């Protein structure tokens, strides 16, 4: 693993990941996040159990590309943020994202580049208002030559979200 301070490429991709994190936790618009941090044909995958996608339609699938126009079958990264936003609300916290020197950065010949960040947030269900505190992981990869993100993968506590969206009061399991 590289330290961003001694590797220019690591510095570039870490800075992009940090910019995404800052924009995400401060509530920037999805269009701003996507245009500032992602390639022109990005992918976003939020991992989780397939059965939970009935309540959490952003889980267990990969959203690809940018929205050219809204369609019923929109699977774009813009749609990921739309679906996420009508399902969950994120409540900013000053310590949601660690400092950049705590990001895990992997670069080097013969290795896939990646930046991994553990974040946390207070989240609530838009439908029920039930809140919980959650720690989740962002893994950024498939960077382009300019260091923009090609693929964002997210691992989170899908069970707490599933319970909260379903109205179950003890959402933190």
pLDDT of residue 2: 46
pLDDT of residue 110: 72
Burial call 15-48: b when 16+ CB within 10 Å, e when fewer: ebbbbbbebbbeebebeebbeebbbeebbbbbeb
Spatial separation of the C-alpha atoms in residues 7 and 53, rounded to whole Å: 40
* Domain 4-63+74-165 class, CATH top level: alpha beta
From the list 104, 89, 106, the residue with the least C-alpha distance to 164 is: 89
The residue ranges of every structural domain in the chain are 4-63+74-165
pLDDT of residue 83: 94
Q: Along the 173 residues of the chain, how does pLDDT read in single tens digits?
A: 545 567 899 999 999 999 999 999 888 999 999 999 999 999 999 999 999 999 999 999 999 999 875 555 679 999 999 999 999 999 878 889 999 999 999 997 777 999 999 999 999 999 999 999 999 999 999 999 999 999 999 999 888 898 999 987 654 44
Backbone angles phi, psi at 154, to 5 degrees: -130, 135
Q: Evaluate whether 142 touches 151 at the Cβ level (below 8 Å).
A: yes
Quick check: pTM over 0.85? yes
Kindly report the CA angle at 24 between 90 and 154, in degrees rounded to 5?
85
């Amino acid at each position: 693993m590289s330290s961003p301070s001694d590797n220019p490429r690591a510095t570039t991709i870490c800075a992009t990941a940090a910019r995404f994190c800052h924009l995400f936790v401060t509530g920037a618009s999805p269009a701003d996040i996507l245009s500032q941090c992602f390639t022109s044909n990005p992918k976003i995958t939020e991992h989780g159990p397939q059965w939970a996608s009935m309540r959490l339609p952003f889980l267990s699938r990969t959203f690809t590309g940018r929205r050219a126009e809204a369609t019923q079958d929109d699977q774009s990264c813009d749609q990921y943020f739309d679906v996420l936003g009508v399902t969950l609300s994120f409540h900013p916290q000053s310590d949601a994202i660690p400092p950049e020197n705590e990001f895990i950065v992997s670069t080097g010949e013969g290795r896939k580049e990646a930046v991994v960040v553990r974040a946390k947030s207070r989240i609530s269900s838009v439908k029920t208002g039930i809140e919980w505190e959650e720690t989740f992981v962002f893994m950024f990869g498939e960077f382009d030559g300019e260091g923009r993100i090609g693929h964002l993968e997210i691992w989170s506590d899908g069970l707490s979200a599933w319970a909260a969206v379903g109205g179950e009061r003890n959402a933190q399991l």
